[in-house]
Structure 1
Amino acid sequence: MTIRVAVAGATGKMGKLALRLIEEAPDLELHAALGRETPLSAIDGADVAFDVTHPAASADIVRHSLSIGVPIVVGTSGWSAPRISEIEAFRRELGEGAPAVLFVPNFSIGSVLGTAFAALAAKFFDSIEIVEAHHAGKVDSPSGTAVRTAELMTAARGERGPVAAPHADQRARGQLVGGIPIHSLRLSGVVAEQRVVLGGDGETLTIAHSTVSPSSYEAGILLALRRAPEAEGVTVGLDALLDLGISSDR
């Protein structure tokens, strides 16, 4: 079976990467390549949509795709838990049989593993901070990967409760997500990096991941596109497709 894919954000770096992967894959076919001026109706008739656009545009693309019955893989950053909850509510309004949404903050297998390790370690440390760095052109901060990591670590702590939060006057300690400070760097020469630093009595643990080439995203993109047509509900994170035990399948 050939999967017809509509790519929104086709002129960007991730969009161009997706176009190449679709062209090379024997089981994928390009249905439409959407740029900034392309009407959303170009998605109509696709088997799956792939959204790698801009945080301000992504919600309309997701809602349109769901409303016409096309499952969608969302690689656009900036999708926090509250925004995802709004999409869940929208799907419920559409009723039974609404297509699936796969929110993937990061398509890198190594990054997903780093987040999984951080969630595992979060249960044992009360001091936790995240430092993430991306290329200078990335418009959102903190990154979707960092937000996802903080949310999973907070959930993993369970009854242990929140981490030691910064003092109210320590504004340089970063944006709090689930009580965990996230520091964002936007620098030329960087692709993507994340360090989770956990502090305990007499020790620190650092879980770090660096993306040195966009090729690290290829396996994750292909996996998500191939799984989306048969998926159900709202799924957050590539880990849900890798069976790592930390999925947020909704």
Structure 2
Amino acid sequence: MTIRVAVAGATGKMGQLATRLIEAADDLELHAGLDSRAPLTALDGADVVLDVTHPAASAAIVEHAVRGGIPVVVGTSGWSADRIVGIERLVRDTEGARAVLFVPNFSIGSVLGTAFAALAARFFDSIEVVEAHHAGKVDSPSGTAVRTAELMGEARAAAGEPPVAAPHVDQRARGQLVAGIPVHSLRMTGLLAEQRVLLGGDGETLQISHSTLSSSSYEAGILLALRRAPEAEGVSVGLDALLELGLGAR
């Protein structure tokens, strides 16, 4: 069966990459490619919507897809846990609603890095995250960093561990607290995407680092999400939900 995909944000870098992948795949078909001027009704009739737009535009796209009974893969950053709760409520209350899969990062390596950080988090009381992206990325912290911090916080809570030691939280230079963990964001020309999780304990430190060197690292994750979305149910967060890594409650 051919899966018809509507790409919202088709003129952006991720949208162009997704469009090329869809057109090259035997089991996928481009239903519509939307730019910022296209009406949301162009999504109608698709088997899956891929949202790779802008944080300010993403909510309307997701809500339209949910109300229209179309599964949606959300690759747009800026979705906090609180905002996702609102989408969970919308899905529950909307007859015929289909799956919503939030994917902070389509890179398999990045997803594994987050999984390793969540595994390690309960063994270290001092944890910070440093994430760096290209100068054009408008949101901070990144969705990947938020997801990583939230999962580390959940892992510590599930193990009965206290919040991490984050002194001097009144100093903005010490990072934005996400799930009690300081997150530092860099936006610089010459970078694509990097994340380091630093964990400190008595007499030792551990670093879990991932670097994105090319947008080709997203290809396998995009294809996996598009192919699995039509059969998925409910709201899930992270590509790990499709890789069966067992991370988090969602």
**Range of TM-score over shorter length:** over 0.9
| Change in CA separation of 1:125 and 1:140 when aligned onto 2, cut-off 3 Å | same
Q: Is the 8 A contact 2:68 2:97 kept in 1?
A: no
TM-score by length of 1: 0.98
Q: Is the 8 A contact 1:237 1:247 kept in 2?
A: no
Q: Is the 8 A contact 2:21 2:219 kept in 1?
A: yes
Q: Is the 8 A contact 1:240 1:248 kept in 2?
A: no
**Structure 2 CA distance, aligned partners of 1:197 and 1:107?**
22
**Partner residue in 2 for 1:122:** 121
Where in structure 1 do 4 or more consecutive aligned residues deviate above 6 Å? none
Q: Any idea what the Cα deviations from partners look like across 1:195-244, whole Å, max 9, x if unmatched?
A: 00000001100000000000000000000000000000001000010011
**Structure 1 CA distance, aligned partners of 2:143 and 2:26?**
31
| Change in CA separation of 1:168 and 1:65 when aligned onto 2, cut-off 3 Å | same
**Partner residue in 1 for 2:152:** 153
Which stretch shifts more, 121-130 or 167-176? Answer: 167-176
- The Cα shift of 1:247 comes to 4.7
Q: Any idea what the Cα deviations from partners look like across 1:143-193, whole Å, max 9, x if unmatched?
A: 000000000000000210210123243221110000000000000110100
- The Cα shift of 1:248 comes to 4.0
Tell me, yes or no, if structure 1 residue 65 matches structure 2 residue 65.
yes
TM-score by length of 2: 0.98
Report the 3-state secondary structure (helix = DSSP H, G, I; strand = E; otherwise coil) of the residue aligned with 2:83. Answer: helix
Structure 1 residue runs of 5 or longer lacking an equivalent are none
Aligned-residue Cα RMSD (Å) equals: 0.8
Matches within 5 A, 1:2-17: 2-17=2-17
Q: Is the 8 A contact 1:239 1:247 kept in 2?
A: no
**Structure 2 CA distance, aligned partners of 1:222 and 1:86?**
27
**Partner residue in 2 for 1:174:** 175
**Structure 2 CA distance, aligned partners of 1:43 and 1:224?**
18
Q: Any idea what the Cα deviations from partners look like across 1:40-90, whole Å, max 9, x if unmatched?
A: 000000000000000010000000001011000000001110010010111
**Partner residue in 2 for 1:199:** 200
**Structure 1 CA distance, aligned partners of 2:101 and 2:169?**
36
- State the AA in 1 paired with 2:149: A
**Structure 2 CA distance, aligned partners of 1:168 and 1:58?**
31
Q: Is the 8 A contact 2:124 2:199 kept in 1?
A: yes
**Structure 1 CA distance, aligned partners of 2:84 and 2:107?**
21
Q: Is the 8 A contact 1:237 1:248 kept in 2?
A: no
Q: Is the 8 A contact 2:105 2:111 kept in 1?
A: yes
**Partner residue in 2 for 1:216:** 217
Q: Percent identity?
A: 77
Report the 3-state secondary structure (helix = DSSP H, G, I; strand = E; otherwise coil) of the residue aligned with 1:5. Answer: strand
**Structure 2 CA distance, aligned partners of 1:154 and 1:247?**
10
